[in-house]
Chains A and B, each alone.
Chain A
Amino acid sequence: MTTSLELTGLTALPAQTWGAIRLVPLVRDEPIADLRLDARLYGDGPAAVALDRRTAYYAYVPHGFVATWTADGTPAAAYGTRLRHGDERRGDERRDGPPPCVPLRFHRRMARREDRGRLRFLPLHLALEGYLALHFGGPAVVWEEWSHRAVSQGLSPRVEQAYTGAEVAGLGDALRVFEIHPGQCGVLLYAADALAAAFVVPHPDDYRALHPSLLHDLYGELVYHYATLHGPVPDFRARIADGAVSTLAGLRAEAARQRAEWADFHTTALAGGLLEGDYEVQRVYRMGPFALSRFLPPFHRRTEQHIGETINHDDGRLAYLKTFRLSEHQVRRGHLLTRLAAADWNLEAAAALLGVTPAQLALRVEAAGFGALLRQDVLDHYRAEARRGR
């Protein structure tokens, strides 16, 4: 199922800039109250999930969050965003027990940070590998060229490069001086006016709890380079034409128009690359009125491409969104994998689809870092063929 992304129920307010970073706040008129961040993630922070015992609500756990999920109290990282029943007594154990997670062994220093019980993302490499592995299951048809490991384990493990927010120049300061709006439920993060990440949560309290965690989040190399190399981005300053105003009420109307124009401009121009894309959406599961999906971009090369996860309400409101902008390298690899998947992982068919010989395709697969997926003898055979051809 392919579809575009919509920020239903959210309004973009004027951006706040700091250096090359532009942060666009998204506010909801009415928060979504029956989907909340898992209470265990609030740690010792403000106890925000204070709901009537009788109301049913659902909880979500963003991908890569570290908390004490397991019974023995060791820290672990959530693998993939989860939906669960907020009330422990409801729902079945299998689905609502601890979410599938990756156990973590921390060094002494990290373990101490753990003690503070604060929100944080998973160590960088694990999170991104997990992310892409979630999206690509590996060969679905066992053609003989694929190695045993590729078939049994999919594309995991693989290495992707990304930067933590702390390494992105100016991001820490930009997040620190950002003034969170009342009712704010999300943010779009731009580095040098390239959309780096979109982040939406159902409730303002969740957003306030998660706002600093954007610094521990991952960003692609493009974001890192843009933030480092680009100078400060200009503010979109309000402008009121002199002639248009003769009364105070007129002045007020002009001011209101500025705000509306900005929201419109933002959705169409600034966030266009994210919102107008054609996404391959895979519904993971649903719970009550909420459905969790993961989406993949069409992997068009040399354009803005995002992967991410969403939770949608039945009435179309967007409850949760988290995206990661792929670098050009990652887009190329994604392109290769989608082509392979489109040809049912048949090397020859895929090569025909791309207009190259199977040998060239095999070498391309290897150059893209997927050499281990092909059986060694098959790869050697194609290498020899390429040498002979040369």
Chain B
Amino acid sequence: METLADLVAAEDVLLFVNAAITSTGQREFHSDAGEQRMSLDFLHSYMLGNYRELYAATLALNVNDHNAALIVRRLLETAKEATPEQRTAEGRLIARRLAALPPPRVYRLFRGLRRAGVNNRRTRAIVRDWLAARPDPAFDAVKYRGAVKSAARHAHLRLDGELGPFLFEPVGRRSEGFSAPLLEAWRRAHYERSAVYDLPYTVAEGFAAKHGIDRAVFLERIAPRLTRLERLRLQGAARAAGADSVRADLATMPLTRLATYVLSLPLGERVARRAELTAALRAAARRAAGARAGSWGRVAAVLDDSFSSFGSTRKRRRPLAVALGCHFLLEALAEEFTPLWLSGGRDPLLRYPYGATPLGERILDALEHRPDRLLIVSDGWDNAPPGLAGEVLRVWRTRLDPGHRTGAVHLNPVYDAEGFDVRRLAPGVPTAGVRDAEDLPTLVEFARFAEGRTGLAELRAHLDARVRHFLDRPGPDEPPPEGP
């Protein structure tokens, strides 16, 4: 028998997971960065205070990097309050998650810990082990010089080889070279132009400015050193500057990233490159669908391209990109797919944020196709007229389809700071936060908990399974030994 406290706990966890998946503490269409941060901070404190174990376990779910870093930071800040068993479990989760985070974010976390004066033994061990597991310490030392320096100082690390002198010796005093090629390139780049091109792009850019290297020449020669995302970001500017060798390989891009890129292009270019872009999106969707491809039966999706899907200047067209990603992913998952954009448009490639949000009517259109699954990807600001979507879904659930012949799920890419959750459409239809379209299958599975028909025990079991799976995946790192 479930107690009331259990139900509340299950609800709180779901609420937090939704928030931690969607919110990045950045400005959204309806709320600014300050509101988002304050709202999110409250949820973190609340979860940490009430359900510490579940809070740590969310690291195993697809919460976004911003929240993962926040969770790690809060767990380390309050290490004193945890029991030894909790610490062991947390340590493993933290180490696993840090290994999966992009290095700049981890270094930012370490800096934050330093600024906050968090320097317990556990923190030092985690910093030490994470740095030891980095594949190329010399590369990190060059690319993230300040951050590595600050982390090493904070964790009282003894750096071996040339890294110590490289980071801590004053630049001008050194007369002999380094034996590691990257460190040596960095030293020589101070006075030698050709050495600049052996460095990572972000570092080289500063030296290029110092030497007054022409932008086109610089981009042309640094091209082989660019990372995948740098390539994607720079190719437009590079082409304008006359450096043609900067070309992003769209075939390897993840789905949502690719969708964002497509939506950033002017409509004319999207038409001109239609075949290329569509093929890339389809390939990314097939990769994300994996073995599940074609197994979802008849699927109808209501996809939001109203004006609010613009997001904000910080997250340009993010909600629309998620909808576009879902479009292609669902196309791969379904046997028969009916996409319904709110604007009434049919061409997924030519969508742009415009118009109101008549969710209710589109849901009716979708239900007319009698799908096996109905997916709604929208920020939930139903305004033409307000509340119609909720009413349609409610009446349809209670009167027309009480037997759940059609499974309906609402995916919401936007965190509503005021409501401490993603906005819901109707109580009978589960709502889950979504950050990347790739996560859609997992989220749809997770959404059944939000329907209120499954309790805390089941949720805990699901979380445990996810945690086990998360920890057991083969990774380059080993769990760090725990402090007492």
Please report A residues at the B interface, Cβ cutoff 8 Å.
13-14, 16-17, 25, 177, 179-182, 235-240, 242, 245-248, 251-252, 254-255, 258-259, 262
Q: How far is the CA of A55 from the CA of B387 in the complex (A)?
A: 44
Closest residue of chain B to A235 (Cβ to Cβ) is B386
Query: Which of A179, A240, A247, A262 has the most chain B CB atoms closer than 10 A to its own CB?
Result: A179
- Given A179-B307, A179-B356, A239-B391 in contact, is the A251-B383 Cβ separation under 8 Å? no
Contact between chains at A255 and B308 (CB < 8 Å): no
Q: List the 8 closest pairs (A to B, CB-CB), nearest first.
A: A237-B387, A14-B385, A238-B388, A179-B307, A235-B386, A179-B356, A240-B391, A238-B387
Known: A245-B400, A248-B367, A251-B396. A180 touches B385 (CB 8 A): no
Q: A248-B368, A251-B400 are in contact. List 20 more A-B contacts (CB 8 A).
A: A13-B384, A14-B386, A16-B383, A180-B307, A181-B355, A181-B356, A182-B343, A235-B387, A239-B387, A240-B391, A242-B398, A247-B400, A248-B396, A251-B396, A252-B364, A254-B395, A255-B361, A255-B391, A259-B385, A262-B385
Question: Which residue among A17, A245, A255 has the maximum number of chain B CB atoms within 10 Å of its CB?
Answer: A255
Are the C-beta atoms of B355 and A182 separated by less than 8 Å?
A: yes
Judge whether B392 is part of the interface by a CB distance below 8 angstroms.
yes
**B380: interface (CB < 8 Å):** no
Which listed residue (A25, A177, A181, A235) contacts B308, Cβ 8 A? Answer: A177
Across the interface, name the chain A residue whose C-beta is closest to B389. A238
For the complex, give the distance between the alpha carbons of A25 and B306 in Å: 15
Assess A251 versus B395: contact at CB under 8 Å? Given A179-B308, A179-B383, A181-B356.
yes
Nearest A-chain residue to B306, judged by Cβ:
A179
Q: Which of B357, B361, B388, B399 contacts A179 (CB 8 A)?
A: B357
**Residue of B whose beta carbon sits closest to that of A262:** B385
Q: Are A14 and B395 neighbours in the complex by a CB distance under 8 Å?
A: no
In the complex, whether B371 has a CB less than 8 A from a CB of chain A is: no
Whether B392 contacts A14 by the Cβ 8 Å rule is no
Bitwise, B261-304 to A at CB < 8 A (1) or not (0) is 00000000000000000000000000000000000000000000
Kindly report which residue of chain A lies nearest to residue B365, judged by CB atoms.
Answer: A252
Chain A residue contacts of B29, Cβ below 8 A: 177
Residue B319 interfacial (CB < 8 Å) = no
Residues of the B chain whose Cβ atoms lie less than 8 Å from the Cβ of A254: 395
Are A245 and B385 touching (Cβ within 8 A)?
no
| Complex CA–CA separation, A238 to B399 (angstroms) | 17
The answer to whether A242 and B307 touch across the interface, beta carbons within 8 angstroms, is no
Contact of B388 among A177, A242, A246, A255 (CB under 8 A): A255
Write the nearest CB–CB distance from A27 to chain B, whole angstroms.
10
Closest to B309 in A: A179
For residue B360, CB closer than 8 A to chain A, the reply is: yes
Q: What are 14 of the A-B contact pairs (CB < 8 Å)?
A: A16-B356, A179-B306, A179-B307, A179-B357, A181-B384, A182-B343, A182-B355, A236-B385, A238-B387, A238-B391, A239-B387, A245-B395, A245-B400, A248-B367
Would B355 and A246 count as touching, CB distance under 8 A? no
Whether the pair A238, B386 counts as a contact (CB closer than 8 A) is: yes
0/1 interface trace, chain B 351-363, chain A, CB 8 Å (1 if under): 0001111001100
- Expressed in whole angstroms, the minimum distance between the Cβ of A273 and any Cβ of chain B is 22
> What bracket does the count of chain B residues touching chain A fall in?
20 to 34
| A262–chain B nearest beta-carbon distance, Å | 6
**What chain A residues lie within 8 Å of B367 (beta carbons)?**
248
Bound CA span A177–B311, Å: 10
Taking A237-B386, A245-B399 as contacts, is the C-beta distance between A255 and B392 under 8 angstroms? yes
For the complex, give the distance between the alpha carbons of A13 and B357 in Å: 12
CB-nearest residue of chain A to B396: A251
| A182 touching B354 in the complex, CB below 8 Å, given contacts A177-B30, A245-B399, A251-B395 | yes
Q: How far is the CB of B355 from chain A (nearest CB, A)?
A: 5
What separation, in Å, do the CA atoms of A245 and B343 have in the docked complex?
27
Quote the shortest CB–CB distance from A239 to chain B (angstroms). Answer: 6
- A contact residues around B388 at 8 Å (CB): 238, 255, 258
Chain B residues whose C-beta falls within 8 Å of the C-beta of A262 in the assembled complex: 385
Q: Which residues of B contact A259 (CB under 8 A)?
A: 385
Contacts of B384 in A (CB 8 A): 13-14, 181
Are the CB atoms of B395 and A180 closer together than 8 Å?
Answer: no
**What A residues does B357 contact at CB under 8 A?**
179
**Are A258 and B385 in contact (CB-based, < 8 A)?**
yes
Chain B neighbourhood of A258, CB < 8 A:
385, 388
Asked, given contacts A182-B354, A240-B395, A242-B399, whether A251 binds B387 with beta carbons under 8 Å apart, the answer is: no
Report the nearest A residue to B401, measured CB to CB.
A248
- Docked Cα-Cα span, A177 to B416, in Å, equals 14
How far is the CB of B27 from the nearest CB of chain A, in Å? 12
Nearest neighbor of A14 in chain B, beta-carbon distance = B385
Map CB proximity to A onto B180-216 as digits: 1 under 8 Å, 0 otherwise: 0000000000000000000000000000000000000
Could you tell me the distance between the alpha carbons of A236 and B385 in the complex, rounded to whole angstroms?
Answer: 8
Q: How far is the CB of B1 from chain A (nearest CB, A)?
A: 31
Query: What residues of B have a CB within 8 angstroms of the CB of A25 in the complex?
Result: 356
The complex places the Cα of A258 from the Cα of B382 at a distance, in Å, of 14
A20 CB, nearest partner CB in chain B, Å: 15
Partner of B364, one of A16, A180, A248: A248
Closest to B29 in A: A177
Least CB separation from A182: chain B residue = B355
- Hey, which chain A residues are within 8 Å of B361, CB to CB? 255
Q: Which residues of A contact B385 (CB under 8 A)?
A: 14, 236-238, 258-259, 262
State how many angstroms separate the Cβ of B360 from the closest Cβ of chain A.
6
Contacts of B30 in A (CB 8 A): 177
Which of B308, B357, B385, B400 has the largest count of A CB atoms less than 10 A from its CB? B385
Shortest distance in angstroms between B257's beta carbon and chain A's nearest beta carbon? 27
Find the A residue at minimum CB distance from B32.
A173
Residues of A within 8 A of B354 (CB): 180, 182
Chain A residues with CB under 8 Å of B391's CB are 237-240, 255
- Shortest CB-to-CB span from B151 to chain A, Å, is 41
Q: Who on chain A is nearest to B307 by CB?
A: A179
| Chain A residues positioned under 8 Å from B398 (CB to CB) | 242
How many angstroms between the C-alpha atoms of A14 and B394 in the bound complex? 20
Pick the contact of A251: B307, B308, B392 (CB < 8 A).
Answer: B392
* A252, B368: Cα distance in complex, Å: 10
Instruction: Please determine whether A255 and B364 come into contact, CB atoms closer than 8 angstroms.
Output: yes
Quick one: which of A180, A181, A236 has the most chain B CB within 10 A? Answer: A181
Q: How far is the CA of A179 from the CA of B398 in the complex (A)?
A: 31
B84–chain A nearest beta-carbon distance, Å: 49
Of the candidates A13, A238, A259, A262, the one having the most CB atoms from chain B within 10 angstroms of its own CB is A238
Residues B310-358 near A (CB distance < 8 A): 343, 354-357
Distance in angstroms between the alpha carbons of A238 and B395 in the assembled complex = 12
In the bound complex, CA of A247 to CA of B383 (Å): 24
Alpha-carbon distance A240/B391, docked complex (angstroms): 6
Contacts of A238 in B (CB 8 A): 360, 385-388, 391
Bound CA span A76–B355, Å: 34
Least distance between A300 CB and chain B CB atoms (Å): 33
A179–B305 alpha-carbon span in the complex (Å): 11
CB distance from B260 to the nearest CB of A (A): 21
Residue of A with least CB distance to B394: A240
- In angstroms, Cα B427 to Cα A251, docked, is 18
Residues in chain B near residue A177, CB distance under 8 A: 29-30, 308
Give bound CA distance, A240 to B355, whole Å. Answer: 25
Interface centre among B355, B356, B364, B396 (most CB of A within 10 A): B356
Q: Are B400 and A236 in contact (CB under 8 A)?
A: no
Q: Tell me the bound Cα distance from A238 to B426 in angstroms.
A: 13
CB distance from B364 to the nearest CB of A (A): 5
Contacts of A247 in B (CB 8 A): 400
Give bound CA distance, A262 to B360, whole Å.
15
Residue of A nearest to B386 (CB): A235
Q: Which residue of B lies closest to A183 (CB)?
A: B355
Bound-state CA distance A248–B400 (Å) is: 7
CA A138 to CA B310, docked complex, whole Å = 51
Please state if A242 and B306 are interface contacts (CB–CB under 8 Å): no
Most buried by A among B343, B383, B396: B383
